[in-house]
Amino acid sequence: MISYQINPEMLIRYWVLLIIVPLAVGFFILATIACLTILNHLRHSRRERNAAKQAYREDHDALGQRLPPTARGFCTQCETLTKKAFFLPDGTHLCEECYDQKFPPRLS
C-alpha cells in the first residue's frame, strides 16, 4: 500500500491558487466595471447638461428673455430668405439682423 504524506506548505499554495487568486481577479473585474459605470454616468450627465445649456442659449437672448419661434423663412422687412427667421405673434417674419434692430436688448 502506498502512503502519501500531506505537506502543509503545498496546502497553503493550493489554497492561494484555488481561493485567493480567483477572489482577487473577481474583485478586480467588479472594480473595473464599477469605475467604467461611474465614468459613463459622469460623461452622460455632462452631455445632458451641455445640451440643456445649448438649448437654453438657442431659445433665449443675452438677457435671458425668451425668443419667438424660429425656422427657415422669408424676412418680411428686408425681403430675404434666411435660415433662421423669427415668427412673431403678429404674423411677421424677421431675420436675425432685422429682429435685433426692431427689438434691441435692453437692461431694465
Per-residue confidence (pLDDT) for residue 40, from 0 to 100: 98
Phi, psi of 97 (to 5 degrees): -65, -45
Q: pLDDT at residue 22 above 80?
A: yes
Using alpha carbons, select from 93, 50, 53 the residue that is nearest to residue 69: 93
Amino acid symbol at 16:
V
**Is residue 40 in some structural domain?**
yes
Q: What pTM, to 2 d.p., does this model score?
A: 0.60
Number of domains in the chain: 2
Q: Do 81 and 106 lie in a common domain?
A: yes
Asked if 19 and 36 sit in the same domain, the reply is yes
pLDDT score of 108: 47
Q: Do residues 106 and 97 make contact, with C-beta atoms less than 8 angstroms apart?
A: no
Contact 86, 94 (CB under 8 A): yes
The chain-wide mean pLDDT, for the chain, equals: 88
Tell me the C-alpha distance between 95 and 87, whole Å.
9
For residues 53 and 11, state if they share a domain: yes
Residues 50 and 76 in one domain: no
Give 56-88 pLDDT, tens digit per residue: 988 888 888 888 998 999 999 999 999 989 999
Q: Is residue 31 part of a domain?
A: yes
Residue 93 burial (CB count, 10 A): 19
Regarding whether 82 and 40 lie in a shared domain, the answer is no
Q: Are residues 72 and 54 in the same domain?
A: no
Among 1, 2, 21, CA closest to 13: 21
Spatial distance between the Cα atoms of 90 and 86, rounded to a whole number of angstroms: 11
Residue 28: inside a domain? yes
Residue 20 lies in a domain: yes
